[in-house]
Amino acid sequence: MSGVPRGTVPGPLLFLLHINDLPSVITSQIRLFANDCIIYRPIRSSADCEALQRDLDSLERWSSAWGMKFNTKKCHIMSIASAKSHPTYLYNLCGHVLSNVQIANYLVRQTQWQSDHNIWVAVLRR
């Protein structure tokens, strides 16, 4: 079991040290806060969709190597697009197809340390 008990003083610092190398394993933009992670990139072609999927695959390998599991039930795709464009690519993480959402809570809820490591993927379309 990895992690520090929830509510401890060194917990957040130790978690940040633990995930410090996460941005180096992907090519998409990334934002980390507490135990939430957002990766995003502009999608202009199928090659961009494939690059985002490769980043998700890299995150899966990273999580396996470091003993951190993503809670795939809380991992989603959010497409920010004009009304004319529709997402058609199915993204996968840890063997689960990520669902598309229109509304996502971010930085407004409490999550548990050991089982709620989240990833929010925003697919930006122009």
pTM, 2 dp: 0.75
Q: What is the pLDDT of residues 38-65, one digit of tens each?
A: 888 888 888 989 999 999 999 999 989 9
Q: What is the pLDDT of residues 72-119, one digit of tens each?
A: 888 888 887 665 665 578 999 999 999 888 777 665 543 333 334 444
pLDDT at 121 over 70: no
Please give the pLDDT value at position 26: 94
Please give the pLDDT value at position 109: 47
Q: For CA atoms 74, 93, 95, 78, give the dihedral sign.
A: positive
Please give the pLDDT value at position 110: 37
Evaluate whether 54 touches 89 at the Cβ level (below 8 Å): no
